Amino acid sequence: MRLLGKLLVACMALAIVASCSRTPPSGGYRNAPGPGANSQLGDRAPHSWDYAAPYGHQVHGIDISRWQGDIDWNRVRGAGISFAFIKATEGGDHLDPNFHRYWREAGQARIPRGAYHFYYFCRSGAENAAWFIRNVPREAGSLPPVLDMEWSHSKTCPRRPSASEIKREAEVFLQLVGRHYGQRPIIYTTVDFYRDNQMGDMRAEFWLRSVANHPSRIYPGQRWGFWQYTGTGIVPGIKGDTDLNAFAGSATDWARWLQTRMVR
């Protein structure tokens, strides 16, 4: 109860009730039980974790795009989801058709949400940044922007730049977008992209995809804030598979993180 009290005080001080999304302290994921898990969430194809499963983390969230269709955001929040990263833009001319609706609905449900941009290698970092800034509101209380960097299979842009070019242009994006929103973006990346381009050299908070082992095993030595641990998650209020993510710290750490990393 002391932990809950501290969390509520932090939330009220920030006037962000959304950060207090309920995360049940005990139970198990359907088909993948684990201590400290949220019993309302599940996984259609759970991995058999041999080391440090994600289910015991206190703070879980989702990332979504148009493919999730209609979402009952109040059910999502009631299931204990504490944050949502929503796909906004791609490259220099693509806007996810559901972005603005999801952004509005998640906000109405008081779920802390942020926007992510899928990087397109046939545009410069400045062009990618300009498109994101054009389409994503600078709204107080939202989560920091996210730069999604992974190899794409685009027929319109099959090129794979050198690691030095990728990191140089990514830094341009981080600086421009960070300056606009007042928060340096988080970098989301995948195992192969991280290794191919030595992304650990980047000065950023990382959101790592690792669906077969703990990030400490897959990205040795890399600090991270978020862990995408499955693409087949089950979330009340969302039809079909959903990406599930864990925050690196406790519920108290999450409240502190929100204090420092929310857009103002």
Please list the active-site residues.
Answer: 63, 150
Structural tokens at position 105: 């609905």
Q: For residue 92, give both structure tokens.
A: 């220099």
How many other CB atoms are found less than 10 A from the CB of residue 202? 19
Query: How far apart (Å, rounded) are the C-alpha atoms in residues 243 and 232?
Result: 6
C-alpha atoms less than 13 angstroms from C-alpha of 118 in its C-beta half-sphere: 17
Which residues pair with residue 94 across a beta bridge?
Answer: 90
8-state DSSP, 53: -
Alpha helices in the chain (DSSP H): 2-14, 73-78, 99-108, 125-135, 163-181, 191-197, 215-218, 251-261
Rounded alpha-carbon distances, angstroms, from residue 162 to 121, 159, 168, 229, 231: 11, 10, 10, 28, 28
